[in-house]
Each structure stands twice: as C-alpha cells, then as structure tokens.
Amino acid sequence: MSNVLDESTVQAIELVKNVQTIMNTGFFEGFFYGTVFVMLLILRFFIKFKHKTIADLYFFIYIFMLCFLSLVSAGEWRLEAFNSVEYPSLALSFSILTVFSAYMLGVKELLKRYVLPFFNSFFEVAILIVGLVLFIPPLVKINIAYINYYIIIFQNLFVISITLFLWNKKIFIRKEVLLSRLVLIVWSVLILFGDPTNLAVTPYRADVLYKGILLFELVFMLWIGNKFILQLSREHIELTVAKENLEALSYSDGLTSLYNRRFFDETLSTVLTRMNKTHQDGVCLIMLDVDHFKNFNDTYGHPAGDVALIDLANTIKENIRLASDFPCRYGGEEFIIIFSGPLSAALRVSEKIRVMYSQKAQKVNDQEVFITVSLGVALARENEESKELIARVDAALYNAKQSGRNRVCVAN
C-alpha cells in the first residue's frame, strides 16, 4: 500500500514539474493569448459594428500587439525583454494605444460637443490631474515593478472620470460601462493596498496577468466605444430628422400643405437671380384669389371655407410641375405660384386651374355650392426686382377682379 502511495506521490511530483516546465517555456502565455485571440475573433464577427472601418482598424492593431507580446513572453528572450529598459516603453505604448482607442471611439465626439462643460467641471479635472501625478514618477524611475500598475491606475482614473462626467450630465450612461471596468477597478484597489504579484504562481505570471488585463481592457474599450458611437449615431439621426421636420414646418402652410409666405419671399429672389445668370426661357408669377370668399365664409362658416381653400390647393398641384414650380399660400384666400416657363405656358396653366376649380362643387349642408377664382399672370423682366414683379402681378389680379372675376389677366 505504501509503495502504491509512493508511486502516486512521485507521479504527482513529476506532473507538477512538467507543468512548471511548460509554463516556464512560454506555453502558458501562448495558450492564454490564443484564447484571447479567439475571443477577439468572436467579438469582431458577432458584434454588429456600425463603423466597420474603425472596428477593423483597431481589431488588426490588437492582433498585432497580441502577436508581438506573445513573442516577447515566450522562450529565453522573455527574460531579457522583461529585464531591459525597453519593456516600460512597450507598456507605455500599449497604454497610450488604449487611451487613444477610447479617444477615437467616443471621447473625441464628447469633447467636441461638450468641451466647455467638461473643462469647467472641477471634479473630473481633479481626477485626471491625480492620475497624471501618479503616472509621471514611474516614468522618471523606469521601474518595471511599478510602471505597469500605475499605468492601469491612470487608465482607470481616465475612464472613470469620463463615466462620472456622463453620469452627472445625464448624457449617456449604461450599466455595461461600469461592469466592464469592474475587473480593472478591483485590480487598482489591490495595487493601492497590496502587492498584486503575490497572486501570481511565478514572477512571470504577474507580467502575463498585467498584459492580459490590458488586452481585455482594449476589448472592453472597443465594446464600449461601439455602443457610444451607436448612441451618438442614433442621436444624430434623431436631431437630423427633427431639424428637417422643423424646416418643413417653417416653410409649409399648415392648412393647405403648400409653401408659405416665408418660403415664397426667400425663393423668388433666388429664382430671379438664377434666371438672369442662365438666361432661361422665363419665370412667371401666377397670383390667385378666391372670388367672394368672405361672403362664402360668413354664410357657410370657416370649416367650409377651409375645405374650399384645400380644394383650390389640390387643384393647383394637379396642374403644375412640382419639380420646377413652387405653389405658395400668399395669405388668406390668396395663392401665388412661381412658374418656370414662358408666358404662354403660364397662361395655359392658369386657365386650366380656373376652369377646373369653377367646376368643383363645394358640398355644404347637403347642397352644392360653386366657387370661382380670379388670376393674374406676370412674366419676369430681365434684372427685375422681386417687389416690382409682385406689384405687377398684383395689379393683373386686380384687373381680373375689376373686369368681372372668374378670369385670367396678364400684367402689362
């Protein structure tokens, strides 16, 4: 029985020695980084990135750093690299890459949009200053035992300050942001209150653990940055849609859905300027006014009057080219059209509108009522001002009213 026990003990000892030999030759680091590589692949191809170019760029940067650190960690070169002055530079470069990734994936947009509130917030700036104070001394000492840990502290303070800023301003915060920092926050606490290298199996495991944390941090940065970019993209789309809706409302008449007076005033001068530069066939104004509209409103009520105006607006849209002509409600029962084309074409369209509208029956209180419309047409002259053209077409409309209504008159 004792012999069997002794053999088992010997086998266990041999197994432990073999494991230690494998770990000391760098196999453990290779396996560890291989696992991280697989995780990166999964994250890369199963997360829906909105900005594929940025995602691919940082993914390949991570892979390059992964392969480089794997080579540094394996074989006899590991001892020379870890004990040389180059390793702090490597760690510093890796740290800068992490912060740069966060900057490119979200912080840049944040600072652009909220730069003044950010720098006026004393609490967040104080945290960044503390991080810098903790970060500078190790650079002077070039001490491998401390520079790695101070870099992690600095990165945590950097990200935590941004998180607190977002939380205070209620701009963007998700529980994943804090959860993804949990491992690094615990690691920073261990650094501040004890020596984390005691957790490692061998002195080399501390370096593996440190680099592994940095790699996972980069993955988390990519994840958080992707969420932040998606949030900014959604916010940008919402603002764009809201802006377009406001612009549409500012240039649209609420009752008829035609363009309003503001749009007409801004567009007419632009159209006339373009006409003078390009020497196009011509630009005409067609002004319309519903005949006896006040009597119709007083007799049948404002709802019936609104329906009559909507019918006239629809009649106008049915007879013009919406791609090149601009129908507008000028005010009350008056409408005006910026018509692109010669005077003869404007007269044909005006007559069609007059005839079609006069044949439409307005159904009010179980009876049919017919309304007519008077129109004035004016062809824009070369280098004519907007006010002069409006005055001429208004005079033509006045002549149509004075001549008996329900007709089209041309300006002199």
The answer to whether 206 and 196 have CB atoms below 8 angstroms apart is yes
Choose the catalytic residue: 29, 124, 217, 333: 333
Q: How open is the CA angle 342-345-349, to the nearest 5 degrees?
A: 140
d(CA 228, CA 173): 9
Q: Is 254 helix (H, G, I), strand (E, B) or coil?
A: coil
DSSP assigned state of 198: G
Q: Which helix (H) or strand (E) holds 288?
A: strand 283-290
Place of tokens 């006026």: 120
CA atoms in the 13 A half-sphere facing the CB of 372: 13
386: which 2 tokens? 């907007």
d(CA 99, CA 218): 9
259-274 in b/e burial notation, b at 16+ Cβ within 10 A?
bbeebbeebbeebbee
Q: Which residues does 320 contact at the CB level (< 8 Å), separation at least 6?
A: 327, 337, 339, 349
> Catalytic annotation on 86?
no
Q: How many CB atoms are located within 10 Å of the residue 108 CB? A: 12
d(CA 309, CA 357): 11
**Which value, in Å, is the radius of gyration of the alpha carbons in the chain?**
38
Q: Which residues is 334 bridged to in the sheet? A: 289, 331
- Tell me which residues are annotated as active site: 333
